[in-house]
Chain A
Amino acid sequence: MTMSGTTDAPRPTAAPKPTAAPRLRAPRRPHGPGRPRRSILLTVLTGVMLLYSLVPLLWLVISATKTQQGLARSFGLWFDGDFALWDNITETFTYQDGVFGRWLLNTLLYVVVGAGGATLLAVLGGYALAKFDFPGKRAVFAVVIGAVAVPTTALAVPTFLMFSKLGLTDTPWAIILPSLISPFGLYLMWVFAAEAVPTELMEAARIDGASELRAFFQVALPLLAPGTVTVLLFTTVATWNNYFLPLIMLKDPDWYPLTLGLDAWNKQAATAGGEAVFNLVVTGSLLTIAPLIAAFLLLQKYWQSGLAAGSVKE
């Protein structure tokens, strides 16, 4: 998704043809002979950005250990006397008859079906764009690229009105259907498939009598794995973090995802007679981001190589 004109120039000569699959984590040789000198000054300066990125997360972790009174009385970046993390977690899951657990399950449903479906559609579509010539291909391409430029919010209101006519609002479908389309995912898979799946290999499979579907699942799909993980992670983030779409589509708190639920708990304090539950908002926030952060950390190798491969080409 990066580069463009600049990488195109050397390509036609295609001198050092990348061997197997895209150069995923090609060991990067530091410039010049030997390694460049490490710089303490540069590390410290960049460290300022590191602190900027991490301190709010630290604040969140520390705040999740405090009671509501503790939040108000203690310094934000240090612990209060009472360590209430476990109580907060228990209360988050039991407050309002355990609605938080329901929101968590809803979010998982939207992610599994929505982001999973989006990834599947993107993988299939990207493979088609990279490896087949079919009537209307240029039109498909033009329409999808044009659509990327349309701000999604311009479509939100009409989508809501359309869905409400179809009786889809206030159901999981209202969240899942729009989540199924990821133009960025399609693009990334297209670029990735063009590079990672050798056309000769697919032809060999066909000559051996494999059906198109079989050739795709048994030969192409394994080669597409790093790109698939990347797209899956990014569509997961998009679905997990979605706020605007559920906000307009859902009235019934039983179908809320975590984001909307937390927002509702936060707003509760501002309504007349509403109970302030800031400790639960904070703890719930921590519980909401923990799975995603864990996924990004654990799957680092895959998504970073997928992104790098995406930027190799174009």
Chain B
Amino acid sequence: MTTLQSPAATGARPAGPPVRRTRRSWTGWGFIGPFALVFALVFLAPLAYSIYLSLFRTQLIGGTSFVGLDNYEQALQDGRFWDGVLRVGLFLLVQVPIMLGLALLVALAIDSGRLFGKDFFRISVFLPYAVPAVVATLMWGFMYGPRFGLVGDINDAFGVRLPDPLSSDLILASIGNIVTWEFVGYNMLIFYSALRVVPHSLYEAAEIDGAGQWRVITAIKLPAIRGALVIATIFSIIGSFQLFNEPAILQKLAPNAITTDYTPNYYTYSLSFSGQQHNYSATVAIVMGVVTMIVAYVVQLRGMRKGA
């Protein structure tokens, strides 16, 4: 997360509070060692292995052979892969702003001190974060469904025909709703925590200047939490690009609307576990990882530069 430090903060040394250092010694390794060891095993080793895998190809005839960058070439021209990338890209452009916008509005409302029962609001909006994606998706999936869902109930009760949320036209929006429900409270809490530490003198000064609530929000609060906004955006981007759980679980309820290459991540999963194409699957995962990192990096640069 500290990659996201503004240039001013990064400076010479990895960011972090200025600490009076003890002598440079190996003692610190005694404490960080266990983390580093497990990290190497479950993070660095698979990463290296995945790059290695992406350079080979296994065929029925001829076995495994070194193919250089052929897999990458294939991935770059793979329509199924890019369709998935476009789909999550669209998802990202629509869902992330809605979710973060709602989170910000709730955070500002709670922070304004003008709500009745603000603690109740804060904890309740946050609660869905504690619900596993599996449960959230099953729950919403049932509610969407015609069999015992709320949509079916409403249709029966009012004699209307609402559009089917599980149809292929609406399924992406339905997934977006589930993801929004799960994470709006989490993002709200990030914004709210940032708002709480805005120095009070600023509000008092604004009051003396006769600034209204709206002006306080745009001139003081939003600039003060820009770091939090950028971080939440980047996490949401990474989350969108990794979209898997919700479509994979909804797939059983909407088999016609969700294909096994619906998102890039679903595609790598299908390649690997239905298609046994491990080498190509690793390649697609790496390409997707690179795309994610580039987008996250660009957002970070832009977000931090603007008006800084």
Contact = CB atoms under 8 A, between A and B. Distances in A.
A97 interface: no
Contacts of B149: 76
A54 B124 contact: yes
A269 to B, nearest CB: 8
A142 B285 CA distance: 22
A2 interface: yes
A64 B272 CA distance: 36
A76 B42 contact: no
Contacts of A224: none
A36 B44 contact: no
B55 interface: no
Contacts of B85: none
Interface string B291-306: 0110011000000100
B108 to A, nearest CB: 10
Contacts of B224: 3, 6
Contact of B196 (A6, A28, A130, A135): A28
Chain A interface main SS type: helix
A54 B22 contact: no
A36 B112 contact: yes
A153 B265 contact: yes
Contact of A53 (B34, B47, B128, B297): B128
A50 interface: yes
A128 interface: yes
Nearest to A184: B1
A134 B28 contact: yes
Given A266-B252, A307-B193, A137 B28 contact: yes
Contact of B130 (A54, A194, A296): A296
Interface stretch (B59-67, B68-76, B163-171, B184-192): B184-192
Contacts of A57: 127-128, 131
Interface residues of A, number: 130
Nearest to B131: A289
A295 to B, nearest CB: 8
B200 interface: yes
Given A159-B46, A180-B38, A308-B196, 18 more contacts: A2-B194, A3-B228, A5-B8, A8-B9, A45-B109, A46-B115, A59-B139, A133-B24, A151-B288, A151-B292, A157-B281, A212-B30, A243-B132, A258-B132, A259-B133, A289-B132, A295-B130, A297-B123
25 contacts: A5-B9, A6-B224, A8-B8, A28-B196, A32-B204, A43-B117, A53-B185, A57-B128, A60-B135, A63-B148, A76-B149, A145-B2, A145-B3, A149-B3, A153-B242, A157-B282, A157-B285, A158-B285, A162-B45, A181-B43, A186-B35, A263-B249, A288-B135, A296-B130, A313-B17
Interface of A: 1-10, 28-32, 35-40, 42-43, 45-46, 49-50, 52-54, 56-57, 59-60, 63, 71-72, 75-77, 120-122, 124-125, 127-138, 140-162, 177-178, 180-181, 184, 186-187, 190-191, 194-195, 199, 203, 212-213, 216, 237, 240-241, 243-244, 247-248, 258-260, 262-263, 266-267, 270, 278, 281-282, 285, 288-289, 292-293, 295-297, 300, 307-308, 310-314
- Closest 5 A-B residue pairs measured CB to CB? A132-B28, A5-B6, A134-B28, A128-B31, A4-B227
